[in-house]
Structure 1
Amino acid sequence: MSATQPGRRIVMPVDSSSNCHRAFNWFLKYCYRENDFIIFIHVLQPKYTHGNAVIALDNLINIPVQDGSVSVDDGQRVEAKFRKLAEQAGVNYTIEILADSSIAEAILRLASEHGANLIIVGSRGVGAVRRATLGSVSHHLLTHASVPVLVVPPAASNRPSTSA
């Protein structure tokens, strides 16, 4: 790809888990191209939602938070962590923090708005029972995204047991 061509726009959902960190490192090692632009997304899940809201990082401290309805501190920690990782790696990026009751739908909406070419997500490695009863963000992305989805599995030591 020449320097004048725009790079890929890659959406990468992030949270404080080691799985997201692993997905970012995997991306750097196996997938990264010089002109790539990463759109990190962190979704805050309020207990009660009245529609979808995009929250600018600068305005996070102005959000009325009662009864722990939104983990603003967690959002700020995640933002700081991935900002540092991206800057150390020399990756072009932006970070968006959204409040939404559906993590998967927020990711899909953001991917569409940004014209993403790819979504990279770290898998939590939940077991079959939990996935069947609660659903899975990565499964929802795989079955509903209009762009390719790359799911980075958890480290072997963090995978759920497959024995009965």
Structure 2
Amino acid sequence: MAESDATSVIIIPVDRSNHAEAAFNWYADNVYRPNHEVHIVHVHEPVVPTTGASYWAFNAEVFQAMVQDDRQIVDNLMKKYEGKLKDRNMKGKTHHQVNNNPGTAIVHYAEELKGTMVVMGSRGMGAVRRTFLGSVSDYVLHHAHIPVLVIPKKRERSTSSSGH
């Protein structure tokens, strides 16, 4: 079998951000090939009850409604990307997981699915913010054992009239 005929497994982590959608679109427009199998991966942190009251005083019905709303949001996101795969005639699947550490989960998915490459968006956080908050794309870039393509946040064009 020729190398170009081999299936490449592409992992595309997504969330509800424009950065994730831009990364998917950039990959689809510039990199996708018919021998690619695209795995859309969504990892989000679990719903945790937070109120001014103690954890134990939290209303179970309110919490259940929050969990249900979260499920609906995730279902809608997965349907959106299933539609994008179908609209572009791309072979692929969607995956969803609840996990406190999205970076670790994405790296695990890449290993489990025997990924060839990870393509993901970057939120464009500054160095100080990334140092304190961490960055999922930074984590994946440094821990995945396959190539990671990070699509940067699109820069807004200056509207100044200085001519520069």
Q: TM-score range by the shorter chain?
A: 0.7 to 0.9
Q: Secondary structure at the residue paired with 1:157? A: coil
The verdict on how the C-alpha distance between 1:75 and 1:85 changes in structure 2, with shifts beyond 3 A counting, is: same
- TM-score, normalised to structure 2's length? 0.79
Does structure 1 residue 109 correspond to structure 2 residue 108?
yes
1:67 Cα deviation after fit:
6.8
**SS of alignment partner, residue 66 of structure 1:** helix
> Where does residue 34 of structure 1 map in the other structure?
34
Matches within 5 A, 1:60-75: 66=64, 68=66, 71-75=70-74
Render the CA deviation track for 1:45-74: whole Å, top value 9, x for unaligned: 1146xxxxxxxxxxxxxxxx6373582122
Tell me the SS of whatever aligns to 1:22.
helix
How many Å apart are 1:131 and its aligned residue?
A: 0.3
Please report the TM-score for the alignment, with normalisation by the length of structure 1.
0.79
Task: Write out aligned runs for 1:130-141 (5 A).
Answer: 130-141=129-140
AA aligned to 2:13 is P
Contact 1:3 1:35 in 2 (8 A): no
Judged with a 3 Å threshold, the aligned counterparts in structure 2 of structure 1 residues 152 and 86 are, in CA distance, closer, same or farther, namely: same
Mark the runs of 5 or more structure 2 residues left unpaired by the alignment: 49-62, 158-164
**How far off is 1:80 after superposition?**
1.2
Give the unaligned 5+ runs of structure 1. Answer: 49-64, 159-164
Q: Distance in 2 between matches of 1:115 and 1:128?
A: 31
Q: Do 1:44 and 1:72's aligned partners in 2 also have CA atoms closer than 8 Å?
A: no
| Code of the aligned partner of 1:68 | M
Per the alignment, do residues 4 and 19 of structure 1 end up closer, same or farther by CA in structure 2, a change over 3 Å counting?
closer
C-alpha separation between the residues in 2 aligned to 1:69 and 1:151? Answer: 31
Q: Does the 8 Å contact 1:10/1:117 carry over to 2?
A: yes
Q: How far apart, CA to CA, are the structure 1 residues paired with 2:4 and 2:32?
A: 17
1:150 aligns to what SS in structure 2?
Answer: strand
Structure number having the greater helix percentage: 2
Q: Who is 1:54 aligned against? A: none
- Within 5 Å, give how 1:19-30 maps onto structure 2: 19-30=19-30
> 2:12 is matched with which residue?
12
